[in-house]
Chains A and B, each alone.
Chain A
Amino acid sequence: SQTIHQWPATLVQPVGSPLSLECTVEGTSNPNLYWYRQAAGRGLQLLFYSVGIGQISSEVPQNLSASRPQDRQFILSSKKLLLSDSGFYLCAWRQLLNTEAFFGQGTRLTVV
């Protein structure tokens, strides 16, 4: 069966520090991968998606970047965090467009 792992679960980082959040999927190959952010009082917002290794599409201009160095690994990064980067970050995957999307357990990021 397929599983998705996301870490760390919580993170407190000072303003201006770098960020690296990692997501891996097991039990499948060539998944579509997604990074979402969930802010308080707002719905989930798509940040990045990837349909293959090295292929990254960004949905909103921001202080973040994403990379997919391996087929089942998706990384969310920042060189210098802002206070506004605080939020709950969720990684997701689906195999095909007409199949279920599955989410990781999320990372709570607090920038102080």
Chain B
Amino acid sequence: KQEVTQIPAALSVPEGENLVLNCSFTDSAIYNLQWFRQDPGKGLTSLLLIQSSQREQTSGRLNASLDKSSGRSTLYIAASQPGDSATYLCAVMNYGGSQGNLIFGKGTKLSVKP
């Protein structure tokens, strides 16, 4: 059974710092991995999608990497800003699972202090 873990559960950094959020998964037979952002009381906003054949994806100040063999992904945020404060979720889609179902971690709550 696939399990997704995100460490740390919470992180507080000063504005301008570069930071890394970690995601690990137990079953490497994944189709893809997706990073989301969730603001309090809101839905999920897709940040990056990495296919299993890819090593990384970049969007603006965000860079996500994937090491499928070791079951790890990282989300790198450059020059953090207070507006980056949110909960970040990673999710994987398994081969052979329910049609396109995502298995989520519990998230990392990021707070960027001005």
Contact = CB atoms under 8 A, between A and B. Distances in A.
A103 B107 CA distance: 16
Interface stretch (A41-49, A61-69, A76-84): A41-49
A5 to B, nearest CB: 11
A98 B99 contact: no
Chain B interface bracket (under 10, 10 to 19, 20 to 34, 35 or more)? 20 to 34
B76 interface: no
A49 B43 contact: no
B62 interface: no
Contacts of A34: 100-101
Interface string B47-88: 001010000000000000000000000000000000000000
Interface of B: 4, 31-32, 34, 36, 41-46, 49, 51, 89, 91, 93, 98-102, 104-107
Interface of A: 6, 32, 34, 41-44, 46, 49, 51, 57, 59, 90, 92, 94, 97-106, 108
